[in-house]
Structure 1
Amino acid sequence: MMRTITLEEPIALAHPVVTVGTFDGIHIGHVSVIKAMIDMARACGGTSVVVTFDPHPRQFIDGADAPGVLTSLEEKQHCLAALGVDILAVVEFDDALRQMSPEAFVKCYLVDKLSARSVIIGYDHGFGRGRQGGFETMKRLGKQFGFSVFSPPAVCIAEKPVSSTRIRNALLEGDMDAVVQLLGHPYPLWGRVVEGERRGRALGFPTANLLFETQGKLLPSPGVYAGVARLDQIHIAVVNYGKRPTFGGQSALCEVHLLNFSQDLYGKILPLEIWYRIRGEREFGSKEALIEQIQADIQSAKDMLSRRHTYGGKFWL
């Protein structure tokens, strides 16, 4: 079972094999790095350690101008645990960390606190003040401090490296096929269930209204989506994100209808995985037309998810 720690103090681990990065999205490029680290650790009887940052560095530096976050810390923990990581070390990204030189960062965290024996980083990973450090810097520091350094090749789709930026663009366009292909898994969308206007219940389709507590969590383009919610059992989820033009909505909401589910979820975290886009946002002229469309959306979700006959299994594909 993965353990999550902070690196406020040194920790003694058996032959630590470490990777460092923001890993926003835990996409297939990240997974190649993480799996290489896990394989190396297991081969030598060591401990696999992911060092990541919270908040996302771009959120800290750019504030409201930062790109949206693909994975909250909780979503990231879930993904990394599913991959088989031993230790997740979460470092608070603050101004002191932002100003650290590459050498100071490696000395403080990888050497003094983790005693890293091997370090694996992505081909384009930058670390230290202004992302000054890269693979060659890490190799030089590895020789200085006595740890080996390795970097797997980039993972490419359509002759372009997989990146969090490509995934953000696809998500904002509602291209869930591309999102899932680039991530290698459905898009995680975890939110806390809050009180709503109960319009869905009045229509015969009760919904859970979600509040996203992670600053800057990136939501897909407005529309209706098919996914699953992992509670005590797996439930098909029809997710509507948008302003609800039929009801004159002014602000965007995320509402989730769970099939074959009637329990109270208020105040709880609902772990969603979004697989498919069903349709864009529409305005309906009558309650009857809306109900008919919701019924069609539910059937579409069932049909789409039947293609993923293993969707009730593990998070990871």
Structure 2
Amino acid sequence: MHRGHQAVLSQLQERARQLSLPSCVMVFEPQPLEFFAKDRAPARLSRLRDKYEDIAVLGIDRLLCVKFDQVFAELSAEAFIEQILVQKLAVRFLVIGDDFRFGQHRCGDFALLAEAGKKHAFQVLSTDTLLHDQQRVSSTLLREALREGRLDDVTRMLGHPYTISGRVAHGAKLGRTIGFPTANIHLKRLVVPIQGVYAVQIVISAQTYSGVANIGFRPTVNGTRSQLEVHIFDFKDDLYGKQLQIRVCHKLRDEQKFSSFSALQTQITADALHAREWLAKHQC
């Protein structure tokens, strides 16, 4: 949830307090582009669980998750207003981003909402674009910065380091055979926004640890699905089934295929050393 989203939610909260009404955020699952484009959809920056937690931290009262299916995709903009906003939600005040479009063929916009607001007694506010280095802060800009390893820019656009969360699953346990046991998180997304080896911080039950993570397909072992493997420094407890938050702090290198496990072990040793050095000198 980037700072553009945060600006929208700030306006929502302020108006909700003035009206003595609960604040509510509507999200779609799957995301519309995932529904239409399938595996060609842009990378997800966060999971639904992450959105829920972010929205809760920001103090929003309710999260409404709408199933985006063929029936919903064919709903006209006018029907969306009448059936969803007016009849089901009884909206009094609506805040949208300046690029918001809705309804079949994306025909609905701010002007249509404003006109409907006059008829149904609700107000609509369109928030101004938030800029970063003269560019509009957007999910597209975030994906580009992540892909290029510009994590400082990502942090400025988000207001915090980019974070991946998930539950630790059983893996092949190859890491422990070369002295680097890892916690493995399967990335249940259609596309992964970043790949490579990173210095990271890991949050486990409100405690923060340092580590090094590989995000990608693990070409040395002929991996077929994207996975996050994190080696936590000076940590020996069992993590299977536990929920982790991984703050992606600094990119060390791209993912690569090695000719042998010995070569992989040598590189991981160097990666761990570089990650320790970077994390000791920098604030994530």
TM-score under structure 1 length normalisation: 0.81
Separation in structure 2 between the aligned mates of residue 186 and residue 287 of structure 1, nearest angstrom:
28
| Residue 236 (structure 2) pairs with residue 262 (structure 1) | yes
With over 3 angstroms needed to count, the CA separation of the structure-2 counterparts of 1:277 and 1:291, relative to structure 1, is closer
1:241 aligned residue: 215
1:23-62 equivalent positions in 2, closer than 5 A: 26-62=1-37
Rounded to whole Å, the distance in 2 between the matches of 1:34 and 1:129 is: 25
Q: Which residue of 2 aligns with 1:220?
A: 194
**What amino acid is aligned across from residue 29 of structure 1 in structure 2?**
G
Structure 1 residue matching 2:112: 3-state secondary structure: helix
Distance in 1 separating the partners of 2:81 and 2:265: 62
Q: 139, 163, 167: which one pairs with 2:138?
A: 163
- Computed over aligned residues only, the root mean square deviation of the Cα atoms, in angstroms, reads 2.2
- The alpha-carbon deviation at position 50 of structure 1 amounts to 0.4
Name the CA shift for 1:243/1:64 in 2 (closer, same or farther; >3 Å). closer
Check the 8 A contact 1:227/1:301 in 2, yes or no.
no
Q: Offset of 1:45 from its aligned partner?
A: 2.4
Structure 1 residues 231-272: Cα deviation after superposition (integer angstroms, max 9, x where no partner): 242222321123445x45444542111234322222333232
Paired residues in the alignment total 280
Name the counterpart of 1:75.
Answer: 50
1:96 is displaced (CA, Å) by 1.1
Give the conservation status (yes or no) of the 8 Å contact 2:215–2:229. Answer: yes
Instruction: Look up the match of 2:64.
Output: 89
Residue identity matched to 2:15: M
The one-letter amino acid paired with 1:256 is V
Q: Supply the distance in 2 between the matched residues of 1:269 and 1:217 (Cα, whole angstroms).
A: 21
Is 1:293 the counterpart of 2:283? The answer is no
Query: Is the deviation greater in 37-46 or in 269-278?
Result: 269-278
More helix by share: 2
Cross-structure match for 2:279: 302
Q: CA deviation at 1:138?
A: 0.9
Aligned to 1:271: 245
**What letter is aligned with 1:221?**
Q
Alignment equivalent of 1:105, drawn from 77, 80, 84: 80
Q: Which runs of 5+ in 1 are unaligned?
A: 1-25, 309-317
What displacement does 1:119 show?
Answer: 0.6
Please tell me whether the aligned partners of residues 117 and 148 of structure 1 are also in contact (alpha carbons under 8 angstroms).
Answer: yes
Q: Which moved more, 1:223-232 or 1:116-125?
A: 223-232
The superposition leaves residues 89-148 of structure 1 with CA deviations (integer Å, 9 ceiling, x where unpaired) of 111111111111111111222111111111111111001112111111110111111101
Equivalent-residue separation in structure 1 for 2:87 and 2:56 (angstroms): 25
Q: How does 1:122-201 map to 2 (within 5 A)?
A: 122-201=97-176
Structure 2 stretches of 5 or more lacking a match? none
| C-alpha contact (below 8 Å) 2:201/2:208 kept by paired residues | no
Alignment partners' CA distance in 1, 2:264 and 2:129:
50
Identity %: 34
